[in-house]
Amino acid sequence: MDSSCLQYALTEAERLEYNERGYFVVDDVLSEDQIPALEKACDAVDAEVREEREVGPDARLTVRDVMWRDPSLLDLVDLPTTLPKIWELMGWNIQIYHTVIAYSPPEAPEDREVTFQGWHQDSGQLNQDLEYSPRPMVSLKIAYFLSDCMEEGKANFWVVPGSQLEDYERPEDRRTPEGAEPVFVPRGGAVVFDRRICHTASSNGSDVTRKAIFYGYSYRWLRPHDDQSVDHLIAESDPIRQQLLGHSPTGGFGYTSPSDEDVPLREWIREHVGEEALTPRR
């Protein structure tokens, strides 16, 4: 990993916004070369999976387990413009546990009032099994946008700022939670968000398909959210990418009691930033 990535370290403003509001937006994390390459790859995945599932072109579609599908998608695992922000928030003991391509085509003209997919916190059963209050972060996600979402009604990602510090309970009447707001992200930008924040996808009232890629980072001891097809990628990856793909050279014990071999990111941070950087900035 090139040390030039450190120029994209978490800023104090981003840290404060994440801690207080549960998310922050970063513009221009994808280069002008990356955006069309990713869009081409995701369009191909979308077309292939729609045919496999017999889903029409106007329906919303999500595809999990996507890292193996194209080199451009694999490169998002350790993207220099975002990975330093992730490890500063979570620390060095991290992996990718969840990946999704999410396409939201335009709604029919008569159905363009904003509606929501369903308000929730991520991680499902974990929220019932852990007794702490507020619930622990455990994971976060970054969503890369391949289409412009700078206006409301473009299938925006919606959140309730600050709700990551509360124990979310789904409203029985499915009303929009108080304080909910759309997140505005430019094409080529990204939103980093705490998995505990109350959030939802929304409908698309524009004329352009909303295209986004979600990558979830968790601690290495958490089981992956998806059946990740990454074993064939390990040999061709450098040690830090291997760690992020969930590999443990020392076996199962290396997930709960990692050695330096299991978590090369730890030594890289220690060498290039310093011992103090091993502690998350939360």
pLDDT tens per residue across span 64-100: 999 999 999 999 999 999 999 999 999 999 999 999 9
What are the structural domain ranges in the chain? 3-232
Closest-CA residue to 183 (of 15, 77, 62, 26): 26
pLDDT, average across residues 25-47 = 97
Instruction: Determine which of 56-65, 171-180, 189-198 has the lowest per-residue pLDDT on average.
Output: 171-180
- Low-confidence winner among 21-30, 164-173, 240-249, 250-259 (lowest mean pLDDT): 164-173
Q: Is the pLDDT of residue 170 over 80?
A: no
b/e for 100-128, b at 16 or more Cβ within 10 A? bbbbbbbbeeeeeebebeebebbbeebbe
Given a cut of 80, is residue 111 above it in pLDDT?
no
User: How far apart are alpha carbons 116 and 119 in whole angstroms?
Assistant: 7
In sequence order, which residues have a C-beta less than 8 Å from that of residue 139 and are 6 or more positions away? Answer: 97, 98, 122, 123, 195, 216, 217, 218, 219, 222
Q: Average the pLDDT over 41-50 and give the result.
A: 98
The Cα–Cα gap between 65 and 85 comes to: 23
Q: Which CATH superfamily is domain 3-232 in?
A: q2cbj1_9rhob like domain (2.60.120.620)
Query: What is the value of pTM for the model shown?
Result: 0.95
